[in-house]
Amino acid sequence: MSRDIAIARIHYSAGSAMQSGKGRLRGWVLEYAPSESRKLDPLMGWSGSGDTRAQLRLSFSTREAAEAYARANGIAYEVENEPAATAIKPKTYAENFRYGRSENWTH
C-alpha cells in the first residue's frame, strides 16, 4: 500500500466575524490540505470527495503542541496565520457621555 504525503496546515483559529470576544476561540488548529478535488454527486447533487482527511480538524492549546503532534506522527506541515497581539483598553459605558471627549457625538 503506497502512502501519499499529505501536507497539514497549522493555523490560529480566527473567531467568527459576528463575534468580537475572545472567550471561545479554539486556539491552534491542525487540518489537512485537500488532496483531491470535490465532485458533484449525480443523484443527490451534493458535492463530496474521497478525501477523508479533509474531515479531520484537531485543536491544540499552543502552536508548539500542534507542531509536536505533527512531528511525532510524521506529518509534513506548514504554519500560517501567526496571531497579532491585541491590547484591550478597558473602558466603561459612562465614557460614552464623558465631558470633553475627543470624538464627536454621532447620534
The CATH number of whichever domain residue 26 belongs to comes to: 3.30.160
Give domain status of residue 105, yes or no.
Answer: no
Give domain status of residue 71, yes or no.
Answer: yes
Give domain status of residue 70, yes or no.
Answer: yes
Give domain status of residue 1, yes or no.
Answer: no
Q: Span 36-43, mean pLDDT?
A: 86
Give domain status of residue 16, yes or no.
Answer: yes
Closest CA to 57 of 84, 80, 37, 32: 32
Give domain status of residue 107, yes or no.
Answer: no
Give domain status of residue 68, yes or no.
Answer: yes
19-38 pLDDT tens trace: 666 666 668 999 988 888 88
77-107 pLDDT tens trace: 999 877 777 777 777 888 777 787 777 666 6
Most confident of 3-17, 43-57, 61-75, 76-90: 61-75
Give domain status of residue 75, yes or no.
Answer: yes
Residue 44's domain comprises 7-97
Name the domain count of the chain.
1
